[in-house]
Structure 1
């Protein structure tokens, strides 16, 4: 036959499991489940799969199949750990490679053993490390963005200075700031990092500036190194644009060693509708694998469509035990206002970073006072919970 000798492979027995929600009636959903097992591994006609190790271990295995609701089914498929090749890229390929092109299949959660998780360093700081860096023990952290696009570097630096004077913990580039002619990357980082440092010396706070290093793949590491050299306290990356493994590479680089925030740009279509990835997988579990210390996503009640339940699922996936990987901060954003803070605190508790951008400008003309109000509001509500 074509495949003589394949049964001689000697593989350990450990597997990892992916939970899928599959649309259709029982017969249709079960056929899709069987297709997932083949498509995500051997990508080969079932009747031609070699017997022995490949059929018994390499091909995905349906571990459970049960009704989810009236029109979909809960399917647990396990895969041999060696199929993931100890790589983030290949792990994601097995989880949702070819079947991402097929309708009616959604990844709901990942169940990863230590033999998978040990291949990833995960978040360098996590929730505890970021709190220590910023000198904030209990309350939620405060986050804002330098905007709008089109301001000069000098104007952005002045904004950064005022935010830091007002006590904002993390001041990031808006994700639309890159290396435009009106705001060149190197000049912006130099001025904004210096502005935040100057404010810290005046206030005694430990605010940090996070430039956006989302860039062509061959420039991402260079921008990260340059940002650190120029005094940046952290980094913003949109892994939907750079690739998740590019973020992992920056996070695991000991020469850089800065906290990382993951931005959701270009990832929205993955979570909208009945296909794709669940909110908790895309914005909770995967960023932890890829080394983010915080995950930015649209908050419920803002200008996007995420529900309270979806946001709660992201927060839970960010914080619950996941092997040796540190917990990370959920960072609700996307149209958050100061008026939404009290309700959001009830949902998230104190282990959260509130990202308020345009809402800080709506509060009034004095950015410093608006920032101080933001800080006072969070401190008072979190202390009285």
Structure 2
């Protein structure tokens, strides 16, 4: 009676799924699963829906419901591929839009069909492409950050020069460096690129500079293009601040064509609870790949943040497991890493990892160039066969 002009939508019958962890006893958890089916799609009372395709196919469908532990259940809910509109923004909306505001619901894993994944280019370089770009075949990659905030562009460039002399492969802005008066973006990029190029000429190395382009959307593309024009070798983006689809746009821009490194700033509360939010692997592995990151930065276990070894392992798995034609990307553990933690971390990541060490390079000794060289030698001389 409410939908006299109702016309059946044309649907392919193809679906994608999401695994959710639901808190509560069996009855409570199942009610949450049923609510997901409506809330993530039609957001409308189920009993008032018209018969036909909307009720039968547009509304989410519970494909499985299993006990996880005494107070949690795992539900796999499938959705018609058409609900995603072939857009990253709408796909994420269907995965966890309104339900992200409700307690006791956590996204554990995205099960995306090739029909969905073919709409996304994913990482431009990925692991193999980034290795080729940097000329590094087998060993782990070395990363560090320019900090602290408050240094002038000249002082940051001097640090970049020393890092490059010591053999660090990737030298990025700290994620807090933007366009502040004490270190304006364009000035900083030009000076840091020149400093690293100077070091490369002296050593024969191939270190690259990765500026932070996280900014108001109206400025991000301009900063990315300016960074490329000035000779930057990659781009740092915090999609929690700038938007996942903004990062995807930058990654896919043929005129930019630079590796993208994602930073987890502002995303912590998504993963900090075992009861709500999104799992570490789904957010920092799967979604970052969908959004075009070539490497995903996150806090390593044993550092100054609270990520566990198991959580970091789940991220690493999701950076490389099969996702249609999307390339595997590099896990980039960071957040208080020390040089002494490298051997244990290699047991988790193997050689396909980018180690981001910041303060640890300064704590190792009084000579920054020698500290970097020690880091490089440590990585080059580690025998993975002995570790495993």
Report the TM-score range of the alignment, normalised by the length of the smaller protein. Answer: over 0.9
- Partner deviation per Cα, 1:116-169 (whole Å, 9 max, x = no partner): 111111100000010011111011000000011111101100110111111101
Match of 1:81 in 2: 81
Alignment size in residue pairs: 385
- Partner deviation per Cα, 1:313-355 (whole Å, 9 max, x = no partner): 0001001121100000000000000010010011110000000
**TM-aligned CA deviation for residue 382 of structure 1:** 4.2
Q: 1: CA distance between counterparts of 2:151 and 2:365?
A: 19
**TM-aligned CA deviation for residue 2 of structure 1:** 2.1
**TM-aligned CA deviation for residue 200 of structure 1:** 1.2
**TM-aligned CA deviation for residue 206 of structure 1:** 1.2
Q: Is 1:289 equivalent to 2:277 in the alignment?
A: no
Match of 1:220 in 2: 220
Q: 2: CA distance between counterparts of 1:218 and 1:345?
A: 40
Q: 2: CA distance between counterparts of 1:56 and 1:240?
A: 35
> Is 2:350–2:384's contact at 8 Å kept on the other side of the alignment?
no
> Is 1:250–1:256's contact at 8 Å kept on the other side of the alignment?
yes
Please show how residues 127-142 of structure 1 align to structure 2 within 5 Å: 127-142=127-142
Q: 2: CA distance between counterparts of 1:109 and 1:266?
A: 21
- Partner deviation per Cα, 1:7-52 (whole Å, 9 max, x = no partner): 5322110000000000000000000000000000000001101110
Match of 2:278 in 1: 277
**TM-aligned CA deviation for residue 384 of structure 1:** 4.9
Please show how residues 204-243 of structure 1 align to structure 2 within 5 Å: 204-243=204-243
Bigger drift between 2-11 and 247-256 goes to 2-11
Q: 2: CA distance between counterparts of 1:370 and 1:311?
A: 26
Please show how residues 168-317 of structure 1 align to structure 2 within 5 Å: 168-273=168-273, 274-317=275-318
Q: Which runs of 5+ in 2 are unaligned?
A: none
- Partner secondary structure for residue 324 of structure 2: coil
Bigger drift between 199-208 and 223-232 goes to 199-208
> Is 2:285–2:316's contact at 8 Å kept on the other side of the alignment?
yes
Q: 2: CA distance between counterparts of 1:382 and 1:158?
A: 33
- Partner deviation per Cα, 1:50-105 (whole Å, 9 max, x = no partner): 11000111000000001011110000000000000000000000000000000000
> Is 1:121–1:325's contact at 8 Å kept on the other side of the alignment?
yes
Moved over 4 A (4+): none
Q: 1: CA distance between counterparts of 2:344 and 2:182?
A: 38
Q: 2: CA distance between counterparts of 1:175 and 1:124?
A: 22
Match of 2:66 in 1: 66
Match of 1:29 in 2: 29
- Partner secondary structure for residue 382 of structure 2: helix
Match of 1:361 in 2: 362
Q: Which runs of 5+ in 1 are unaligned?
A: none
Match of 2:324 in 1: 323
Q: 1: CA distance between counterparts of 2:179 and 2:13?
A: 49
- The alignment's TM-score, normalised by the length of structure 1, stands at 0.99
Match of 2:345 in 1: 344
Match of 1:107 in 2: 107
Q: 1: CA distance between counterparts of 2:202 and 2:4?
A: 74
> Is 1:7–1:54's contact at 8 Å kept on the other side of the alignment?
no
- The alignment's TM-score, normalised by the length of structure 2, stands at 0.98
Match of 2:38 in 1: 38
**TM-aligned CA deviation for residue 225 of structure 1:** 0.5
Please show how residues 132-171 of structure 1 align to structure 2 within 5 Å: 132-171=132-171
Instruction: Report the CA distance shift for 1:196/1:382 in structure 2 as closer, same or farther (over 3 A).
Output: farther
**CA RMSD across the alignment:** 0.9
Q: 1: CA distance between counterparts of 2:348 and 2:10?
A: 49
**TM-aligned CA deviation for residue 227 of structure 1:** 0.4
